[in-house]
A and B are shown apart, each in its own frame.
Chain A
Amino acid sequence: MTVTAVPAVAEAIETVASHLHPRPSYDLADHPVPNGREEVWRFTPLRRLRGLLDGTPSAARLSWEVSLPAEVTMTDISSGAVRALGVPAPVDRISALAASLSAGAVKVEVPSGLALSEPIVVNLSGESVNDLVYGQVVFVVGANSAATIVVHHTGSARYASSVSVLVGDGATVNFVSLQDWADDAVHAGHVGLRIGRDARVRTVSASLGGDLVRLVETAEYDGPGGELEQFGLYFVDAGQHVEHRLFVDHNAPHTRSRVDYRGALQGKGAHSVWVGDVLIRKIAENINTYESNKNLVLTDGCRADSVPNLEIETGEIEGAGHSSTTGRFDDEQLFYLRSRGISEEEARRLVVHGFFADIIRRIGVPDIERGLLTTIEHELEATIGAPTPGAAGERRGVALVRACGVADVPVGGTLAVDLGGDADIAVVNTAEGFFAIRDECSHGAVPLSEGEVEGCTLECYLHGSRFDLRTGQPLELPALVPVPVFAVRIDGDDVLIDPDQPIAIQES
């Protein structure tokens, strides 16, 4: 682990700070209670933070359900130990309160030199919006390791969070944060990334639920050569406030950052805020950065604030840019799709799916990708209308039927089920979760359920064709044609499948 305990190394060299971001600090005196006119608070309806700024102590906790690969450790550490790790300091009052009132943190650590084949999944859920919760989580990924980390928020709470991700030199990290809260939840906080030398970090932040979600997502580099990609998506419904404030601090040379956040808004009072700020310090020569935010406004009565900023202190850069677009559906796209017979509703649905699919496919955890696509389908039903059930020619909504029980298929096992389609469906349980694939090899009429499961693939026993269970794509000859795969949802003890709707193959 090469993370040093000295924050903001570059500040020792120069004193220029961001004009748009307060100095990070653990001291609450540096983060007075805002009045709402401050640059960083002006978009936020403070009253709807429902006491997250007050500093009332609380011992309430979110419930934790964690899936950890064997080599990964999880320990409780003290606040002092958190600071000693050199995590990015709190950037606002709420994250400072989370750091000081959470009574320590949970540290999840991946040792050095280890490539995890399974994701770390942390499910955090709240019971009630009456609970005021301060939480602090630190992820440490050792040098030259590779890890996918998923933090999934559900249920309800008033939650002040401080999350840090310390990425060691040469490590590769995929960090996914899902704000999938119930309608009344309030969540505000800070996600701070520190990126080691030559490390590669991708983040995906998806905010779908909650009454108010406000996340400050910061990134800084711990040496040259770091690469950062940040993707985000949000779907904001009537009355919802979703705010993402990004700050990439290019404090080391030869670093790269790319930000792509996309949101859709629908319903009266839906409000999204995206503020992207990139600071390129004097020391940060030959860096490259680009930020983009796109908002798709689906109905009247929504508001999308989108503010990209660049603060450039050196002329010696490779590239720096940003873009922001907010608009309705593109008439030309709809015309093109409709000119092929696709109804207006279906065309709109396709365009929104496409808009988000580009982000979702970066997650790399098939279960989560499918879950998000399903959630977006549900969201769209509010505006575009539910897909006409059973209507000939129309694509139907997700009509899930029970295929079998979770316990019916052991990991590494398969089960053929007849759901009334023109072929059986093979339910496959793997270390990465459940999959469903048409139970017939595309090379010959051979049931795939008789074959071998290996990782995320299924091999046909007769001729050895191997298929990717996520996409249905053939990976080994003799098969050349993909086999249809189906979305799977686990509901309690049941495995649910929509047998009439194979997943469209987005990416080979």
Chain B
Amino acid sequence: MSTLTITDLHVEVETENGPKEILKGVNLTVRSGEVHAIMGPNGSGKSTLAYSIAGHPKYRITSGSVDLDGVELSELSVDARAKAGLFLAMQYPIEVPGVSVANFLRTAKTALSGEAPKVRTWVKEVNAAMDRLGLDHSFAARSLNEGFSGGEKKRNEIVQLELLNPKFAVLDETDSGLDIDALRIVSEGVNRYMAAGDHGLLLITHYTRILNYITPTFVHVFVDGHIVAEGGPELADRLEVDGYDRFVKAAKVDA
């Protein structure tokens, strides 16, 4: 049983006009076995939340805490956070020319587990994970994300999720840009990950459609850098009908 606890998280970025606060006090607790959907309009700070948890250098945590089973993640380097059990599936996975997917996966697995995986069983595992996500085995020899379509990049993120098997995963708009078949395949991968062990999931999304495939335990509405409403899956249904307007207006009145 693991718990990711985010407490009063404030985050700023550097802009031309000086520092700008993006996250304005986020509170959230994710226990393993739970799927938390974070939903909000563009510019609400959802992706900033994802990057801040993972430790992207562009985002500065000014106060608050991100705690994973008693370990303060905000004090750790990016790779140490991953070693602590965190995984971020990115909205725009980065291309790394000349580094093959196979080499990358093996290096990451070695770093996370502390020993090199047995070559033969590992190759089989990689191929099986690619099969499940509908990626041809030839992708193993290709440069990481280079020349991949948007959908292929997202599938590759979920291949990594399944192979690296973290305690907690943050999925940053993994559904965006996927056609209906890819969305189903990617969702099945996420569901397999959740079923495979003591895992927790933070699912950041703009749209409700991925929630037709991945059932959230909780839905949080994210506006202007913090959570403004929380509920069960029914909250997503209301958002589908009403949109974010009501929450955005309420946030403006509060401000």
Contact = CB atoms under 8 A, between A and B. Distances in A.
Interface of A: 330-333, 335-344, 346-347, 350-351, 353-358, 392-395, 422, 438, 442, 481-482, 484, 500, 502, 504-508
Given A354-B97, A354-B99, A505-B100, A343 B111 contact: yes
B141 A422 contact: no
B111 A341 contact: yes
A508 B138 CA distance: 7
B177 interface: no
Given A341-B164, A504-B102, A332 B120 contact: no
Contacts of B100: 504-507
B204 to A, nearest CB: 15
Contacts, number: 124
A394 B115 CA distance: 8
A333 B113 CA distance: 22
Contacts of A500: 116
A333 B160 CA distance: 16
Given A393-B114, A438-B119, A508-B138, A340 B99 contact: no
A505 B140 contact: yes
A508 B102 CA distance: 12
Name B's interface SS: helix
B83 interface: yes
B103 to A, nearest CB: 3
A344 B102 contact: no
18 contacts: A330-B94, A336-B93, A339-B82, A340-B104, A341-B79, A342-B79, A342-B111, A346-B111, A347-B79, A350-B99, A354-B97, A354-B98, A355-B98, A358-B98, A393-B115, A504-B100, A505-B140, A506-B103
A341 B112 contact: yes
Nearest to B98: A354
B82 A338 contact: yes
Interface string B121-152: 00110010000000000101101100000000
B94 A340 contact: no
B77 interface: yes
B94 A502 contact: no
A299 B120 CA distance: 39
Contacts of A336: 90, 93-94, 96
B118 to A, nearest CB: 7
A223 B124 CA distance: 51
B138 A333 contact: no
Given A347-B79, A356-B98, A505-B140, 15 more contacts: A335-B55, A337-B104, A337-B108, A340-B82, A340-B160, A344-B77, A344-B79, A350-B104, A351-B96, A354-B144, A357-B98, A504-B100, A505-B100, A505-B103, A505-B141
A484 B97 CA distance: 22
Q: Which 8 A-B pairs have the closest CB atoms?
A: A354-B98, A504-B103, A341-B82, A340-B108, A354-B99, A336-B94, A338-B78, A341-B112
Contact of A350 (B57, B82, B103): B103
Given A354-B98, A355-B98, A442 B88 contact: no
A330 B99 CA distance: 14
B119 A484 contact: yes
B57 A331 contact: yes
B217 interface: no
A505 B123 CA distance: 11
Contacts of A339: 54-55, 78-79, 81-82, 87-88, 90
B56 interface: yes
A505 B102 contact: yes
Most buried by A among B103, B106, B124, B140: B103
A22 B99 CA distance: 41
Interface in B151-192: 160, 164
B96 A335 contact: no
Most buried by A among B87, B93, B94, B124: B94
Nearest to B110: A393
Most buried by B among A340, A354, A395, A484: A340
B112 A340 contact: yes
